[in-house]
Amino acid sequence: MHHPGPPRFVSTGETVQLAPRDPDPTGRYAWRVADAPPTSDSTVGSDPVTEFTPDVPGRYQLGLEAPDGDHLLTVLAFSAAYEGIDVAGGSGEAIRDREADRDGIDYAAGRLADDGGPPRIRLDAEVEDAEVVVRATATPNPASSLAVDELAVQFVIDDRDVAAAIAAGRTNPRDAVTETETEGGATLRLPTGSVPDRLRVHAVAVAREPDEDARVSVADAVSVDRVDAGGSDPFAGGDALGDPTAGESFAVTPQNRPPAWTADASVYEVYVRTFADAEHGETLAAIEARVPEIAELGVDTLWLTPVLENDGKPHGYNITDFFSIADDLGDREDYERLVETAHDSGMRVLFDLVLNHTARDHEWFRDAYGNPDSPYRDRYEWQESGEPGTYFDWELIANLNHANLTVRRYLLDVVDEWAPLVDGFRCDMAWAVPDSLWREIRDRVKAADPEFLLMDETIPYVPRFHEGMFDVHFDATLYFTLRQVGRGHEPADAVIDAVEKRAAVGFPDRAGFLQYVENHDETRYRVECGDDAAAAAAAATFTLPGVPMVYAGQEIGQRGRRDAIAWEHARPEVRERYARLSAAHDAHPALGPAGDFERVDYRVAGGGSGERQIAGDDAAVHPDDVVAFRREHGSEALVVVLNFAPGEALVAVDADHGRLDVVTGDPCVEADAGGEERIRVDDVAVVSVGT
């Protein structure tokens, strides 16, 4: 189906890219504004991939005439104050529009306006008395002065499902719904007889501070799907519901929920060309041989840097053939054996997906460069100088033109080629690819496997990338904060601020975050900050709410960023520390992404009061070197204490806690001279507390 996808929620003046899905490059596509607010003068362009910018608030209907018929898309526009919330209206346009010579990245970007950021919303659905009931729970921004009952909720039923219901002879779902305000949100009800095979309901929460424009949440969505009489669910992955008296059954699936397996996932990144000693063409086999050793560490998800044919640069991101395994690594069979071995060892595999650019050695670019008549010319972006579009002065790549239907068709074919083999995509430079393409890719891979993972590399992170695009997001804000703490430039409790910022900038509760202190683009943490801070920072990634990641070599004390892994010089005590952290993370759901996270009062005993570098020679522990917080899930509650300093810390926590460290299994509590119990912590201690 060429329908352009889910409804869009934007601010006036924000540009939306419109594109037919599953495009036929030879097909004819025409856009129009089918309906708009009376005072609007907004138009659409004449190209198959075009742009639309709403000029006044209200509901717009955009029409697409395509080879498979006519389609309508709802765009809801708000006079919204997005400035300073994340980037340029909450999507990736501003990042994509960076000047080529701007090579600096502010990892901590995403400042908030004085009155806070947007609200948040969560949708849940069930079937009650022959009605589908969708409940919206709205939450004010943490910095907002508004109460819950001052937020508005706006529902939109997916245009694709409206068309399907009408085609099936059912009542238009939009004519059959009733909406009511409830305490903490709103409720939408729809008779089950008006539900087509699939019904997707989208909604946003809207906050209006006095004398301010609206602030609009990241949209959430839920899908209600009919299950056939034989019990087969064509959209597997939801919770089965039904009304036995009506003979109807349904499955409910939250649309923006990360895969269930990420609740206790941990990622291990492999920089493929230096991970294992191997002859030309044998690298994948050498990595495969080390998979059992990786699995013994306790990590369960393997991220491999790009494995496709490239221009010879060892990182592999300059791709020349998107359908072939690089011959210096092995062949397709070697890659498939590696994935199979990982699966047999209980590990999932992430494919590093590069969709923004090709290498300049790609056959398209070689023909197009300097040749205005090349049939490949319009598959790339070009500067006035005649050079291709690129970012950060990267000389060996050329940005693809995603407005070209042939390019989009090609990239979707790439997705179809590799998605069936793996468990998810780590999406390179996600900010540099249009939202419309990511939304299509998400629907495409989730239709085949609802538990397929989409993880974006977007620095700084963008809350609205969780709106029908990605499940888990690189948390560069936490990364940068951990570096600053390790350098002694920030107090340790800044890590709490970094985690709380997720909600402050508008990420919904269901969003997942990749927590890391190293990767192939960054120096090793211990090189910058020392071993003691490195131990605490690693513990932070396993105990804060997110998905922890280990960069290959990190677990043995490797110092080189992309050097060959010095397996023969591995430090057993470091590896044992990571294995303990991984085991504790898996054994205690409170430490996972779903666990509640809150501050706790604590005091550091015997600490010095002077300013000093955290990795200095002085063994005294400064209070700013230590942070404590509480994690809770179900009946389990834990207090985590992190110590970034070289010396051992004694920390009193205002909570009734146990005496054993759940990471080591050893006692970690002692009484000071005044009889007060204190937690003894080297790098990390985790103790149980009463709920």
Residues assigned a catalytic role: 428, 457
Mind giving me the DSSP string for 254-319?
A: ETTPPPGGGGG--EEEE-TTTSS---TT-HHHHHHHHHHHHHHTT--EEEEPP-EEESS-TT--SE
Residues 6+ apart with CB under 8 A from 372: none
Q: Distance from first CA to last CA of the chain, Å, rounded?
A: 51
- The two structure tokens encoding residue 681: 């912590």
Rounded distance between C-alpha atoms, residue 4 and residue 495, angstroms: 40
**Contact (Cβ atoms closer than 8 angstroms) between residue 134 and residue 125:** yes
Q: Classify the C-alpha dihedral 603-648-547-613 as positive or negative.
A: positive
- The two structure tokens encoding residue 575: 């590896």
Residues 6+ apart with CB under 8 A from 283: 272, 273, 275, 276, 328, 329, 330
- The two structure tokens encoding residue 503: 């909600």
Outline where 460-506 has alpha helix (H). 476-487, 494-504
Instruction: Give the strand pairing for 198-208 and 152-157.
Output: antiparallel
- The two structure tokens encoding residue 15: 């540009």
Rounded distance between C-alpha atoms, residue 457 and residue 473, angstroms: 7
**Contact (Cβ atoms closer than 8 angstroms) between residue 36 and residue 102:** no
Outline where 104-182 has alpha helix (H). 159-167, 173-176
Rounded distance between C-alpha atoms, residue 375 and residue 185, angstroms: 53
How far, in Å, are 181, 292, 484 from residue 519 at the CA level?
46, 22, 17
What is the layout of strands, in order, in the sheet containing 636-643? 596-599, 626-633, 636-643, 684-688
Instruction: Give the strand pairing for 220-227 and 248-254.
Output: antiparallel
- The two structure tokens encoding residue 224: 């209600």
Torsion angle of C-alpha atoms 227, 231, 235, 241, degrees rounded to 10: 60
Residue 588: count other Cβ atoms within 10 Å of its Cβ.
20
In the numeric block, the tokens 């709205």 are attached to: 138
In the numeric block, the tokens 């999406």 are attached to: 427
The DSSP 8-state label assigned to residue 464 in this structure reads G
